Structure 1
Amino acid sequence: MKRILSLFLLIAAALPALAQQTQKPVLHGKNWMAITGKPLAATAGAMTFQKGGNAVDAACAMLAATCTMWDVLSWGGETQALIYNPKTKKVIAINALGVAPTGATVKFFKSQGYNFPPQYGPLAATTPGTPGGLLHMLANYGTLSLEQVLAPAMELAAGYPMEAQTANSIEKNKELIKQWPYSKKVFLTHPGEEREAPEAGEIFVQKDLLQTLTKMVETEREALKSGKSRKEAIMAAYDRFYKGDIAKEFVRGSKEQGGLITMEDLAKWKVIEEEPVVANYKGIDVYKLQQWTQGPVMLQALNILENFDLKKMGYNSPQYIHTVYQAMNMAFADRDFYYGDPYFEPKEPIKGLMSKEYAKQRASLIRPDKNDPNIGPGDPYAFEGRKNPYKKMLKERGYELDTTKRNFAPTHDTRNGSSSIDYQNNLWLGTTTVEAADAEGWVVSITPSGGWVPATIAGTTGIGMSQRMQSFVLDPALNPYNVVEPGKRPRVTLTPSMALKDDKPYLSFAVQGGDTQDQNLLQFFLNMVEFDMNVQQAAEAPNFNTNQLWLSLGGTKTDDRKPKPGHILLNDNTAQEVRDALKKMGYTLSFDDRTSGPINAIYFDWKHGSLWGGSSNHGEDYGIGW
């Protein structure tokens, strides 16, 4: 009987999830959809739509609100976005990632005793990107004024009831927060008491941040009065933030606490609007940001998996899990060595990395019955007609690029580094997501981050500084494309996603969770395309994660970030037969009760002319449709 029941569970796991029950319902809308990481922030999006704004206006309002509410990010962080423009029928990529400041060199950080730039504090900060990204998107693609879009965030800054999640995070990190005087003043509302952080439901007031946002709105208002256009007025606020009195106080507050950012760093930084990277999977065009993010990882994995019959394998069957795991490992091995800022030398071999022929070669290396703990970076240069300038370096690390031979791991990759708990926590490090769409056809997907608790607040600006410097490397042998340098952007995990089918929006989706982002987004996409799940089912469905990659966040020692070959995270509900099969393939298993993301997404139902929203069941993620 037990064997029959187990067989039934295996078969059930492989069936399409049409009848799968979800903890949260699908959201339905005809006119618009607004989804993000906090209920009040989703409400800010809904309020903006009700004012007559489009999806870009609403997305900017939600971005401003989530930053103000410290939803694992703040105003000093970074913004990465994809926008579908219905007028041009093109997907636009927004690069609003900050850069390494003056003085941020390998020599400097090594002199401080670091193997990677620090995880917290003013030396972890790139220049702020989110204000510029928000203002650029609003000025160029929105319809409302900055004052209208920032109104909800300003009301939140004047005082909002803080959720338990953020309040408890402040209490947990209060000893770090006490190192920075401006952070201590803002966050620790009950100094000297047993609990120094705000309580859940306490009205949290941010006077300094409100003053900063007010200055930006006043600048816009004055520019409009002087006859400036809407766009010019918004960009006047941009200039005040990056070149005016806000910038001066930000720099002063940063330097006072040991930071490196200068006025010139802020003035020289610009938002970059660029072409996204795209891959076609079975007739669906999937868009990602360029290789300054990890986004192409998902596209590389899709190219590899296109060579397998995943549907026949069955959802989360042992063979499916094994095949997807191997494809992800190959893509991450390439990410860990070849991805970096495309505006700096050396130039990444992105054409080769995205080649379908390269993917076929990589797919041929997958062993059908065993995990390969030794898979390393491939040689994409061969697929764009160039010689690999780092072939010698890779061989010195122990990687063999000759595809007639097996790859084997460098000795430092096969040793376990930090504890499993620390590694897993750093693998999952969160942020938030913003998804918006409207009846006119505008679609926005954003994965903003940076400046999370415990953040160093820069002077009296009320703005938490980014911690994204930690994603650089100091050793070119780890990744010659991602070595820290002033003015350079680190290779980040943040990865909004968009898909078009028949030249029309099909999906807009994003997820928080550090290095797991493109792992979970890949499986979410396959859940819908291969296994016929609806958008909420796909958002909640159990996924699995590989630990066979270098961590992008956490830990300042090399041992803290080393890959864990064969380590896999599975859902608690995984059938025993699946567990046993994976163990035989050489996997080391760990488990969690929720392994889906958390994912937020919008599906476009062209048959009925409606929007379907999926909002994560992990925590506070929330969506509103109309």
Structure 2
Amino acid sequence: MKLKLLFTPFLLAAACLQSQAQSFNNFPVTTQKPPLHGKHWMGITGKPLAATAGAMIFSKGGNAIDASCAMLAATCTMWDVLSWGGETQALIYNPKTKKVIAINAMGVAPTGATPEFYKGKGMKYPPEYGPLAATTPGTPGGLMTMLAEYGTMSLKEVLAPAMQMAEGYPIEGQTANAIERDKVEIKKWPYSSKVFLPHLGQKREAPDAGEMFVQKDLLATLQKLVDTEQQTLKKGKTRKEAIYAAYDRFYKGDIAKEIARGTQEQGGLITEQDLANWKVKIEEPLMTTYKGIEVYKMQQWTQGPVMLQALNMLENFDLKGMGYNSSRYVHTLYQIMNLAFADRDFYYGDPAFAPEEPMKGLLSKEYAKERIKLIDLEKNDANVMPGDPYPFEGKKNPYLDQIKTWGNFHASTNRNENGPSEQFMKEFTAGTTSVEAADEEGWVVSITPSGGWVPACIAGNTGVGLSQRMQSFVLDAKENPFNVVEPGKRPRVTLTPSLAMKDGKPFLSFAKQAGDEQDQLLLQFFLNIVEFGMTVQESTEAPSFKTLQMYGSFGEHEKIPGGLILNQAMPDWTRKELSQKSYKLSYQHRTSGPINAIYFDWQHGTFWGGSSNHGEDYGFGW
């Protein structure tokens, strides 16, 4: 019996608690997917078909930027789990400058989007679906900016796979069935019905799995972009100028005009001026070190700094000595994540708008040491509060009185004896995808694009599904004074690509989908490799756990104090020890992903790709 227990999925790490080199040389057979290997390039994303688009571009001589843009375009066209009107955020390692830069292609709240407007409609938050949930489209601008600034190929070449798919591709069952499930919502919007429901009036109105799914309006929109680029090239302009001409057509030309018209016709707020005023930002990412490894995240308009705060706190503990997924390890990480998430829920927001977020203090190593003094090693703190980072940047906190009354907004009743309700988990893990790419020249890309997932409201005759990211704003400054909705402002989103550097070279590129789960599972993925010596594939599949104690970023913004999701393979004694620490336990069969990642094996000069056994994500390498 003891031998059998050693090889349960939960304890696969027992085979991996060895040096990284030993793990590479003795790859165990316990992973459900084989690792990906490559010497020249690697591309991974949410669907094999979309990864094929990246492979096509690599095979034609494109670099990792070109390939990642092709994969992004393909995932948008497949509605996995986003569309062309959503948002894109990326971290890019530039081998020429030896720097990591951030692409902020998050849309903004449109004209008229104020707390008073939404409250006047009886809403606690902006809605989950429909035109009033839409920020301005960001993904087209993000894709074209990345391609223009760092790619090598034309927009025509990079969009070719997506355009072929828009002409018609065999839709996958996961997406087709999602359309059928959400068809009541889809029917509220005429342009969405036209695209998603080819069998209106029949018992099944969505496409069947494997049916050719055609998107004529989207194809016409993409063709307009390519036509503008090619016409500009014929005038003697550069590749970059031609791509930006296509960019201008989307945001200032006839495409923008139809997006605004179609959105307003269906009750939305987006104006032509909103689209014309919006711009992609190329930013400095935030960074901390963990045992000498540099970990990069997007700025505080994402939840990315949560992982950096957690690493600062965890650096003060002997995690390896605790043992992988022991009750002590789970409890320690849970408490630290909750401290970081409480700070996220109160202090994070768009840095382009006042008030200024105290990020210097929040990311201070000394602040981290102060925060961990609050941890009770014997039980969960269900009432964890935001901290006071201001003294750690030489300032006085103007919100101390407000924090005293913070924390009891929406403790969820969405829980039954079997754990969180289906509705709670749907909101908590709202869809996204990820794109990871690397090449032998040294370019590395990590993207977490999202928005415009099924059931999306499509903007007029463009084929462009609108984002639903407005719901991540709050309407009351008492909840978060930094993330109150305002025209032109970016919401604080869950989207969080990740890059790690070691000894001045890329170490890991990693990201995942699923809303508020993202940084807590990415944190565990990172620790699996750094602390427990797992390979990248082992780490993507290794059982993780999830805290439900932070406020959700979607829907009703609820939380479950003490809510802890464990892997079903967790042994009885660990379950018992955690239940004695005041946790509300529930279980899932798979808890690790979907995570996509690339590990850089400098000893052999190769790439290792990992993609968890938690979805259809996968990739290719060469």
**Where on the TM-score scale, by shorter chain, does this alignment land: which range?**
over 0.9
> Is 2:431 aligned against 1:430?
yes
Determine which of 617, 621, 624 is the counterpart of 2:617: 621
Alignment match, 1:187: 196
Amino acid corresponding to residue 537 of structure 2 in structure 1: Q
Distance in 2 between residues matched to 1:276 and 1:12, nearest whole Å: 34
> Is 2:337 aligned against 1:328?
yes
Alignment match, 2:376: 367
Q: CA deviation at 1:475?
A: 0.8
Alignment match, 1:263: 272
Matches within 5 A, 1:519-558: 519-555=520-556
Determine which of 566, 569, 577 is the counterpart of 2:562: 566
Q: CA deviation at 1:367?
A: 1.1
Determine which of 345, 358, 361 is the counterpart of 1:349: 358
Alignment match, 1:93: 102
Structure 2 gaps of 5+ residues are: 18-22
Determine which of 581, 586, 593 is the counterpart of 1:590: 586
Distance in 2 between residues matched to 1:257 and 1:228, nearest whole Å: 39
**Cα distance change, pair 80–168 in 1 and its aligned pair in 2 (3 A):** same
Matches within 5 A, 1:144-543: 144-397=153-406, 410-412=407-409, 416=413, 420-421=420-421, 422-543=423-544
Q: CA deviation at 1:415?
A: 6.1
Determine which of 115, 123, 130 is the counterpart of 1:114: 123
Q: CA deviation at 1:16?
A: 3.2
Alignment match, 1:605: 601
Q: Deviations over 1:269-306 (max 9, x none)?
A: 00000000001000100000000000000010111111
Are the counterparts in 1 of residues 12 and 542 from structure 2 also a CA contact under 8 Å? no
Q: CA deviation at 1:396?
A: 3.0
Amino acid corresponding to residue 599 of structure 1 in structure 2: I
Distance in 1 between residues matched to 2:337 and 2:41, nearest whole Å: 34
Are the counterparts in 1 of residues 6 and 14 from structure 2 also a CA contact under 8 Å? no
The total of aligned residue pairs comes to 608
Distance in 2 between residues matched to 1:211 and 1:533, nearest whole Å: 46
Are the counterparts in 2 of residues 20 and 537 from structure 1 also a CA contact under 8 Å? no
Determine which of 60, 74, 81 is the counterpart of 1:65: 74
SS at 2:492's partner residue?
A: coil
Distance in 2 between residues matched to 1:389 and 1:91, nearest whole Å: 33
Structure 1 gaps of 5+ residues are: 398-409, 556-560
Distance in 2 between residues matched to 1:435 and 1:147, nearest whole Å: 22
Q: CA deviation at 1:564?
A: 1.1
SS at 1:364's partner residue?
A: helix
Are the counterparts in 2 of residues 14 and 316 from structure 1 also a CA contact under 8 Å? no
Query: Which stretch has the larger CA shift, 28-37 or 16-25?
Result: 16-25
**Cα distance change, pair 116–172 in 1 and its aligned pair in 2 (3 A):** same
Are the counterparts in 2 of residues 430 and 512 from structure 1 also a CA contact under 8 Å? yes
Distance in 1 between residues matched to 2:15 and 2:564, nearest whole Å: 23
Distance in 2 between residues matched to 1:40 and 1:311, nearest whole Å: 39
Query: Which stretch has the larger CA shift, 218-227 or 366-375?
Result: 366-375
Amino acid corresponding to residue 114 of structure 2 in structure 1: T
**Cα distance change, pair 20–548 in 1 and its aligned pair in 2 (3 A):** farther
SS at 1:42's partner residue?
A: helix
Alignment match, 1:401: none
Distance in 1 between residues matched to 2:412 and 2:40, nearest whole Å: 53
Q: CA deviation at 1:563?
A: 2.0
SS at 2:100's partner residue?
A: strand
Distance in 2 between residues matched to 1:415 and 1:438, nearest whole Å: 45
Q: CA deviation at 1:531?
A: 0.4
Distance in 1 between residues matched to 2:187 and 2:71, nearest whole Å: 29
Q: Deviations over 1:166-192 (max 9, x none)?
A: 000000000000000000000001110
Q: CA deviation at 1:440?
A: 0.2
Distance in 2 between residues matched to 1:605 and 1:369, nearest whole Å: 40
Q: CA deviation at 1:375?
A: 1.0
Amino acid corresponding to residue 379 of structure 2 in structure 1: K
TM-score, structure 2 as length reference: 0.96
Query: Which stretch has the larger CA shift, 13-22 or 574-583?
Result: 13-22
Q: CA deviation at 1:5?
A: 8.4
**Cα distance change, pair 590–20 in 1 and its aligned pair in 2 (3 A):** farther
Are the counterparts in 2 of residues 13 and 314 from structure 1 also a CA contact under 8 Å? no
Distance in 1 between residues matched to 2:157 and 2:91, nearest whole Å: 22
Alignment match, 2:20: none
Amino acid corresponding to residue 546 of structure 2 in structure 1: N
> Is 2:578 aligned against 1:578?
no
**Cα distance change, pair 12–242 in 1 and its aligned pair in 2 (3 A):** closer
Alignment match, 1:403: none
Q: CA deviation at 1:616?
A: 2.1
Distance in 2 between residues matched to 1:418 and 1:70, nearest whole Å: 30
Amino acid corresponding to residue 339 of structure 2 in structure 1: M
**Percent of counterpart pairs with the same letter?**
69
Q: CA deviation at 1:413?
A: 5.7
Distance in 2 between residues matched to 1:51 and 1:184, nearest whole Å: 37
Q: Deviations over 1:86-142 (max 9, x none)?
A: 000000100000000000000000001100000000000000000000000000000
Q: CA deviation at 1:483?
A: 0.1
TM-score, structure 1 as length reference: 0.95
Distance in 2 between residues matched to 1:269 and 1:599, nearest whole Å: 31
SS at 1:234's partner residue?
A: helix
Query: Which stretch has the larger CA shift, 384-393 or 108-117?
Result: 384-393
> Is 2:42 aligned against 1:33?
yes
**Cα distance change, pair 33–282 in 1 and its aligned pair in 2 (3 A):** same
Q: CA deviation at 1:562?
A: 2.7
Q: Deviations over 1:426-456 (max 9, x none)?
A: 1122210000000000000000000000000
Q: Deviations over 1:58-100 (max 9, x none)?
A: 0000000000000010000000000000000000100000000
> Is 2:130 aligned against 1:124?
no
Alignment match, 1:404: none
Are the counterparts in 1 of residues 93 and 443 from structure 2 also a CA contact under 8 Å? yes
